[in-house]
Amino acid sequence: MRDPLFEPITINRLEIKNRIYLPAMHMGMAVDFQVTDQLVDFYAERARGGAGMIVVGNATVNDVSGFFQYIGAHSDDFIPGLTRLSNAIKDNGARSAVQLNHAGRYSHSVLMGGKKPVAPSPLASSLSGETPDELDIEGIRKTVADFADAALRVKRCGYDAVEILSGTGYLISEFLSPVTNKREDEYGGSLENRMRFGLEVVRAIRDAVGPDYPVIVRMDSNDFMEGGMRQEELSIYARRLVDFCRVDALCIKGSWHEARVPQLTTNVPRGTYAYLARNIRNQVNVPVIASHRINDPETARELLKDGFCDMVAMARSLIADPYLPEKARTGREKEIIHCIGCAQGCFDNLFKLKAVECLCNPQAGYERERAVERTETVRKILVAGGGAAGMSAAIAAYDKGHDVVLYEKSDRLGGQLYLAALPPGREEFAQLAKDLATQIALRDIAVHVSTEVDASVIDMEKPDAVIVTTGAKPVIPPIPGVDLPHVVQAWDVLSDRVETGERIVVIGGGAVGVETAMFLAEKGTLSPEAVKFLLVNRAEDFETLYDLATRGSKEVVIVEMTEKIGAGIGKSTKWGMLQEMGRSRISTRVGARALEITPTHVKIAVGDRTEELAADSVVLATGASSVNTLADLLREKGVQTVIAGDARQIALAFDAVHQGFEAGRMI
């Protein structure tokens, strides 16, 4: 039976071997706009992995269109690096393209050597807080020419196509939207005027590169901004791009960076935003590419078969597993490591001006430095603990050539990944647990579950080295009344090992406290299936359905000692979780200290006043401490010991996976 994912497709005259499109991502790997070995290695690996087309970028068109970590395309000085990157992609079997972009008011002067950002109107963004200069007519014409020059430069560097970013809140979409375009000249006001800049840019690029060179535009089909652009207007823009600018394909996405609708995080169901692509596909006669949270081949196939799109953009999916396409093509889909939408290594890193990394793939961005080299001396390695760190360690040690045995005291591998998967919208963390367990099963690694490592196990196995990844345990705070029967641990709540009453106080507002509060607030809400049933049958109005979907049967209050909720939650996901807390009516008391727990209340101090919170149940989410009882035993026996994950120091799942991998790779 034919596989729609691996049918060739033609854009203009360019034939692409399959329907997998790796869209441009800001990787933070360029240095002073120059392509680096890190970028070349990263994209060469994705080309070897089987992607049909790879788009790199976004790339600058002039010196105020981005900053030093962007790929530069605004000067001939960057041609050697651009050419090297193009060759690395094409020599390894994929088609190549560069995405051109101007960041507009999303730029920061501090990152551009003091140069002011520019925009259609002098309106500050909520991201930068900096007011840009308004582009005058001369500046507009110069920017249009800059785009065309950069596109021609890209073509000269050997890329198979050029893509223009016309969305996400960057310059072209700033001209399109009445939210950011307050001009009163021919570039502002009516839709026709607001489209003018984007159409001029794309038309200039078409004229520069010629009729036979593929030109692609990546655009929103709904910017999800209050007062912004919706499908009706953006569909008109899409048709004009095709008819007037002779664009060869459209890559469709949704949302600006400032919008308050999650796009890429783990709580977004797979393939949700493909409807945006279908809307455009129904109105144009060129290939249309769907985007966002398409992280497995089956979802991709369904979107293609059901007419949502002609290609699928798989971005972070191929960060997590560059060989996803080849595994799917050769019937090895169970071996895929899926992106779980955590954003811990990709988007969160960019806010820190760090290069992109990946929780699920410790080698992403380190393809050369973290290559696992086969050892000349095979050793017996025992891994104690089968959570994220332990499985990563076992896999890396095995791939290095060692004889590996893995012990886990519970009855399954996965550890706290399964706890992390229990709050609403976090289910993908269980996917990582399953993926790592599959990788263990594919290797000749002996696994012993329901067995804790002790002296007898060490004596029986006689390992040359032990990697200790025994995790953590919850901390019990010294609060009077903490031993009362209605006081429970967050981990037990998430595991459904305890029952809770209607009025619940969660002590601790870090990541675990927030996730547990959300888990509890979900109790008593309608399921997605029930909401859809009532909606399509028009059984209730929208506001009633919204209330039924968000208001549960429990009243939840979080008590947090610091002034902020959500410590330990990455910036990319934190805003969405706090927004969800608001919808779920979760109350918070920050700067509050729990003084005493009674059978009916929790007494807290907030500043110089005290308050009593009614509580049928009290949930402790006050942190964790490392479990590492093996270290002394192993030292006594003279066994080499490496400690990773929470057993070493309480941290994120990202740290557990990466530390485990490094422990296995280096031992």
Q: 484: which DSSP letter?
A: S
pLDDT at 239: 98
Q: Scanning the structure block, which residue is given the tokens 């700067």?
A: 591
| Cα–Cα distance measured from residue 204 to residue 90, given in angstroms and rounded to the nearest whole number | 26
Q: Quick one: average pLDDT of 152-171?
A: 98
Beta carbons within 10 angstroms of residue 598's beta carbon: 14
pLDDT (tens digit, 9 = 90+) per residue, 465-487?
999 999 999 999 999 999 999 99
Tokens of 185: 């000249």
Indicate if the pLDDT at residue 443 is higher than 90.
yes
pLDDT tier for residue 394 given thresholds of 50, 70 and 90 = very high
Which comes out higher in pLDDT, residue 571 or 457?
A: 457
Phi then psi dihedrals of residue 100, to 5 deg: -95, 140
pLDDT tier for residue 613 given thresholds of 50, 70 and 90 = very high
pLDDT at 444: 87
pLDDT (tens digit, 9 = 90+) per residue, 264-277?
899 999 999 999 99
pLDDT (tens digit, 9 = 90+) per residue, 41-96?
999 999 999 999 999 999 999 999 999 999 999 999 999 999 999 999 999 999 99
Indicate if the pLDDT at residue 517 is higher than 80.
yes
Phi then psi dihedrals of residue 586, to 5 deg: -80, 125
pLDDT (tens digit, 9 = 90+) per residue, 629-658?
898 899 999 999 999 999 999 999 999 999
- For all residues of the chain together, what is the average pLDDT? 96
Q: How far is CA 417 from CA 336, 397, 436, 604, 644, in A?
A: 17, 21, 11, 32, 16
Q: Quick one: average pLDDT of 597-610?
A: 95
Helix (H) or strand (E) holding 380: strand 380-384
- What pTM does this model have? 0.95
pLDDT (tens digit, 9 = 90+) per residue, 193-240?
999 999 999 999 999 999 999 999 999 999 999 999 999 999 999 999
pLDDT at 38: 98
Q: Scanning the structure block, which residue is given the tokens 């996917």?
A: 431
pLDDT at 520: 97
Indicate if the pLDDT at residue 4 is higher than 80.
yes
Indicate if the pLDDT at residue 455 is higher than 80.
yes
Helix, strand, coil percent content, the chain, rounded in steps of 5: 35, 20, 45
pLDDT tier for residue 127 given thresholds of 50, 70 and 90 = confident
pLDDT at 126: 84
355 with 27: CB under 8 angstroms? yes
pLDDT tier for residue 583 given thresholds of 50, 70 and 90 = very high
Phi then psi dihedrals of residue 489, to 5 deg: -90, 145
Domains and CATH numbers, the chain: 4-351 (3.20.20.70), 380-473+625-666 (3.40.50.720), 476-622 (3.50.50.60)
Percent of the chain with pLDDT over 90: 95
Indicate if the pLDDT at residue 40 is higher than 90.
yes
pLDDT tier for residue 568 given thresholds of 50, 70 and 90 = confident
pLDDT tier for residue 1 given thresholds of 50, 70 and 90 = confident
Q: For the chain, first and last CA: distance in Å?
A: 46
| Cα–Cα distance measured from residue 194 to residue 176, given in angstroms and rounded to the nearest whole number | 5
